[in-house]
Amino acid sequence: MVLKHGKLWCSSPIAWIRDSTSVSHLMLPGPQTRREKAGEPMPEHNTVMREGGGPSGLESMLTGLLEATHLATFEQVPALVAEHAALAGLDGVLIYLADLQQTVLRRLTGHGLDAGQDGSDADKELRIDGTLAGRAFQECRILGKKNGQDNGDDAEPAEHWWVPVLDGTERIGVLRVGAPGDERDLGDAVRHLASMVALMVVSTRAYSDSYPRLVRTRPMNVAAEMQWNLMPPLTCATPELVIGAVLEPAYEIGGDAFDYSIADGVAHLAVFDAMGHDVSAGLTANLAMAACRNHRRQGADLVTNSMMIERVLIEEFGRATRFVTAILADLDLTTGVLSWVNRGHHPPVVIRGGRWSTTLECPPAHPLGLDLGLEPILCREQLEPGDRVLLYTDGITEARNTRGREFGLHRFVDFVIRHNADGLPVPETLRRLVRSVLAYHDDQLQDDATVLLAEWRPDEKHQLGPV
């Protein structure tokens, strides 16, 4: 998937799998593909047509769903989608949403407290790793199977397709669409349906408790409830930049937080690590992030902002009672100049050329809230196109296995470099990274682990799907 002229396009192919060794491809309509650029003939694309109808079926589906969004609830989304998708010849539509940790896809049925009841056990939950549905989610491309078995247990003789569902550039789930007929006629209909489903899910989940119940696989503590409601989405992209983030343990967050914002050609980035691992730590991190946003939106520069955050913490908790380490950074999206202030935190890391890394040293001031009198210093670094900037907390590098060995900075950076070489986009690289960190620590992290990764690629297409 790429961004072009500010729009998100799926440039990767639709693939239908007839057996375990043969994959055929059909390109989706969109911007020029590699084949088009090479002058090779492309298959014709049409909208899905109802028998005797013409393209009005697709139009009816889209206008009907758009009108339904105004009064729909989260629980009503599956039925409305199935009803209107049939107008475009798309049958058997099922909606699956990714859980908080992006390990499974859970079916949205519209029934029960979590809006996920009454489905059969076979299709209620699908793993993201090791299933065709999960592969469509990971690679952000449409995948289908014909007259064969899925990578999971839901074998069906009828053809069906797995379609990624994106909120902007953030992956939120997949659709399963049964669409018998000519595969070449699927492109527009399934892409537009997925876009409408994303719109409906996002617009209704904000006022529904069913959504968090569905995407949570276990109870969440109060600190994590606060953090997840304050932090921005895990993925964001513009024509010049891709941002991805992960935070674990997702259900027991203590004092970690991340933030980003893009305005007037500048990306504002921040990570926070508050003292402790409890509700008090969560309150401290929340206050620091809110203060950061407040003063940033009033025009404060990085140095001033860091000092104002400290003042707010001291006014609330007292001097040296609660403290937060942090990196506050600005990335000029035109020039590629990265500016940052270090408040007692691990320095940023830059991965260049997908092959080597460097640590950005800058004299750190004291952690926010300690009031030790160390003046914050503004540092700058000129990035090169394609550079990836890593901001992280110590829970990533200091996670220990059963033998007491740390995951370490070298292993952390090497993981990102290797997966960049594999052609994985930022969001999928981070999803796999956090799975690796958890596995290294036997899923029992003793501290919060947060990564914020920003990739700067001016005037280039951003890869959000496979190469």
Q: 390-427, pLDDT tens digit by residue?
A: 999 987 777 666 677 777 788 888 878 877 666 777 88
User: Does residue 465 lie in a domain region?
Assistant: no
Residue 155: partners with Cβ closer than 8 Å, 6 or more residues away: 148, 149
Q: Identify the band that residue 218 occupies on the pLDDT scale cut at 50, 70 and 90.
A: very high
User: Does residue 92 lie in a domain region?
Assistant: yes
- Whether 115 and 262 map to the same domain: the answer is no
- Whether 47 and 125 map to the same domain: the answer is yes
Instruction: Say if CB 342 and CB 364 are below 8 A apart.
Output: yes
Q: Identify the band that residue 7 occupies on the pLDDT scale cut at 50, 70 and 90.
A: very low
- Whether 13 and 136 map to the same domain: the answer is yes
pLDDT of residue 160: 85
Comparing 117 with 409, the larger pLDDT belongs to 117
The C-alpha atoms of residue 442 and residue 360 are separated, in whole angstroms, by 31
Comparing 19 with 178, the larger pLDDT belongs to 178
The C-alpha atoms of residue 375 and residue 366 are separated, in whole angstroms, by 8
Nearest by Cα to 129 from 141, 142, 121, 138:
138
- Whether 301 and 240 map to the same domain: the answer is yes
Q: What are the backbone dihedrals phi and psi of residue 462, each rounded to the nearest 5 degrees, phi first? A: -95, 135
Amino acid at 185: D
The sheet with strand 241-248 has its strands ordered as 235-237, 241-248, 449-456, 388-392, 349-352, 356-359
Nearest by Cα to 62 from 166, 197, 202:
197
Mean pLDDT of the chain: 82
Comparing 452 with 36, the larger pLDDT belongs to 452
Mean pLDDT value of segment 44-58: 51
| Number of domains observed in the structure of the chain | 2
Q: Identify the band that residue 443 occupies on the pLDDT scale cut at 50, 70 and 90.
A: low
pLDDT of residue 166: 94
Q: 301-324, pLDDT tens digit by residue?
A: 999 999 999 999 999 999 989 999
pLDDT of residue 431: 87
Q: Which of 35-44, 100-109, 253-262, 339-348 has the lowest mean pLDDT?
A: 35-44
The C-alpha atoms of residue 127 and residue 124 are separated, in whole angstroms, by 10
List the CATH number of the domain containing 371.
3.60.40.10
In the listed set 169, 190, 215, which residue is the last one of a domain according to the structure?
215
CA separation, residue 251 to residues 41, 83, 279, 326, 399 (Å): 51, 36, 12, 22, 17
% of the chain residues with pLDDT over 90: 57
* Other residues' Cβ atoms within 10 Å of the Cβ of residue 202: 17
Q: 323-368, pLDDT tens digit by residue?
A: 999 999 999 999 999 999 999 999 999 998 877 889 999 999 999 9
List the CATH number of the domain containing 191.
3.30.450.40
Comparing 195 with 467, the larger pLDDT belongs to 195
User: Does residue 179 lie in a domain region?
Assistant: yes
Q: 59-102, pLDDT tens digit by residue?
A: 999 999 999 999 999 999 999 999 999 999 898 999 999 999 99
Looking only at the bridges linking them, the beta strands covering 160-167 and 22-26 are unpaired
pTM comes to 0.80
In the listed set 162, 181, 215, which residue is the last one of a domain according to the structure?
215
Q: 269-280, pLDDT tens digit by residue?
A: 999 999 987 889
The C-alpha atoms of residue 132 and residue 105 are separated, in whole angstroms, by 11
User: Does residue 288 lie in a domain region?
Assistant: yes
pLDDT of residue 238: 93
Nearest by Cα to 423 from 93, 140, 163:
140
User: Does residue 60 lie in a domain region?
Assistant: yes
The C-alpha atoms of residue 159 and residue 144 are separated, in whole angstroms, by 7
CA-derived radius of gyration, the chain: 23
- Whether 311 and 420 map to the same domain: the answer is yes
Answer yes or no: is pLDDT of 29 > 60.
no
pLDDT of residue 272: 97
- Whether 403 and 418 map to the same domain: the answer is yes
Q: Identify the band that residue 4 occupies on the pLDDT scale cut at 50, 70 and 90.
A: very low
Q: Which of 44-48, 131-135, 341-345, 378-382 has the lowest mean pLDDT?
A: 44-48
The C-alpha atoms of residue 137 and residue 428 are separated, in whole angstroms, by 9
Domain range for 316: 222-456
How would DSSP label each residue in 21-52? TEEEEEPPSSS--HHHHTT----------BTT
- 181 Ramachandran zone, left/alpha/beta (phi>0; psi -120 to 50): left
